[in-house]
Amino acid sequence: MDRREFLKTSAAVVAASRTAGALTPPPSDRVRLGFIGVGRQGRGLLGGFLKQREADVVVLCDVYKPSLDEALGVIAKRDPERRLPETAGDFRRVLDRSDIDAVVVASPDHWHALQAVMACHAGKDVYVEKPISVTIDEGRKMVEAARKHKRIVQVGTQQRSGVHFQKAVEVVQSGRLGKITFVRTWNYGNSTPAGIGNPPDSEPPAGLDWDLWLGPAPKRPFNANRFGIAPDRWSSFRWFWDYAGGMMTDWGVHLLDIVLWAMKSAGPESVSATGGKLALDDNRETPDTLFVTYQFPGWVCTYEHREGNARQVEAHGYGIAFHGTDATMFVDRQGYEIFPETRRVDNRPVPRAEADAVKTSNSHGEDHARNFLDCMKSRQLPICDIEIGHRSTATCHLGNIAVRTGERFRWDSAREAISDSKAAARLLAREYRSPWKLRV
């Protein structure tokens, strides 16, 4: 199946799934939610859902009791009259409940696939944070589970709900920028030399079920950086291969998701990467310096990450730049700006496109939650359905596979297969630690 035929078939499947086999919506206008994982990201999502008039938060779940206590505090501070939800330490107790319509999965990345699939088995709709998986095989199983059990599954790439991102995509697809042959994405920072530091292995803190936190990941002694919770940063579990994919999957998925959307692509044809841990003296495993090149039919996309130098590009430390023959468009969460190319006619510069700039407020998260709740009732696919989130996450995984193997390889988006590198193909899936198994 060639790319054009694949995209046509995929569109037909999506269209059919919007109406065929839809289950009945929740029994009332109230939507009863369970939260699995209420660390920093989970509490942020909690705040967004609490602003939705029909959302009832019934239960909070986390393996770390201080996180549960802090989440309860968020609710009590926001609405002292609101009845506090129940709490649980094991997510399976949430899935067992008949008074839950949907779960919000904001646990560490290595749990996303298993918890989302099990929620589909339990008849729950799912809002799952990005990246949706640690491997591409997991992501495909999540799509299969959602379709098999007819569940609404929204992925937390909230930029899809941003109005100015939607307008930016329209600009690209309108041809206003001309023929686009190069797209650049990047995240720059500087945390040299110490990074996240080098804490020794130790005993887990009070209130943490470390074995359940590890779950399907390999058995490891507790390390404060592997667990990662600290008051002054996002959890550092993101920088260890057992649980995540570094900045490539943590932030790259937001950027590349918009690129794939705007360029109407299911994925690259080939991937190569260079980089490694070159700048920092900490115990992280994922690269602090990375350059990935994605070859698409007729155009190229790059992703860059560095943690040893924060000098900006396009006056921004992160973002997306679409480079067309008539103009360049930069876009990030604050808005977009178009910079026309010029050409000389009779020795005078003539712009080939109109300059434009749009600024916006960052309410994407709340809008994304709203879209999920609306789709639970309508049974329409959400704005970032699990198939979309899987394709964007898979593109990031391919970048990590390329840098970990040091090989350039070809990617078959339709078959989701690598045929010219055995080393790369082996990283498409992972083994789960007993007794955990991923069953669709």
pLDDT grade, residue 18 (50/70/90)? very low
Q: Which amino acid is at 18?
A: R
pLDDT tier at 79, thresholds 50, 70, 90: confident
pLDDT of residue 4: 44
Q: 321 near 259, Cβ under 8 Å?
A: no
Give the model confidence (pLDDT) of 7-16 as tens digits.
443 443 334 3
State yes or no: pLDDT of 45 exceeds 60.
yes
| pLDDT surpassing 90 at residue 25 | no
* Average per-residue pLDDT for the chain: 92
Residue closest to 105 by CA, chosen among 53, 142, 144, 54: 142
Q: What pLDDT is attached to residue 342?
A: 85
In the chain the domains, ranked by start, together with CATH numbers, are: 11-160+365-385 (3.40.50.720), 162-362+396-428 (3.30.360.10)
- The pLDDT assigned to 438 comes to 97
Rounded to whole angstroms, what are the CA distances from 306 to 57, 160, 202, 292?
A: 39, 25, 30, 12
Closest by alpha carbon to 167, among 356, 17, 373, 425? Answer: 356
Residue 114 has pLDDT above 60, yes or no: yes
Quick check: pTM over 0.85? yes
Each residue's pLDDT tens digit, 181-231 = 999 999 999 999 999 999 999 999 999 999 999 999 999 999 999 999 988
H helices present in 263-414, as ranges:
364-378, 386-405
- In whole angstroms, give the CA distance from residue 99 to residue 101: 7
- The least confident of 16-30, 46-60, 397-411 is 16-30
Give DSSP secondary structure letters for 108-142.
Answer: -HHHHHHHHHHHHHTT-EEEEPSS--SSHHHHHHH
Structure tokens at 249: 């999957």
Residue whose structure tokens are 């699990």:
386
329-362: pLDDT as tens digits = 999 999 999 999 987 666 666 677 777 888 776 6
Residue 405 has pLDDT above 50, yes or no: yes
Element holding 247 (H helix, E strand): helix 246-250
CB proximity list for 69: less than 8 A, separation 6 or greater = none
- Choice among 11-25, 135-149, 357-371 with the minimum mean pLDDT: 11-25
**Confidence (pLDDT) at 20:** 32
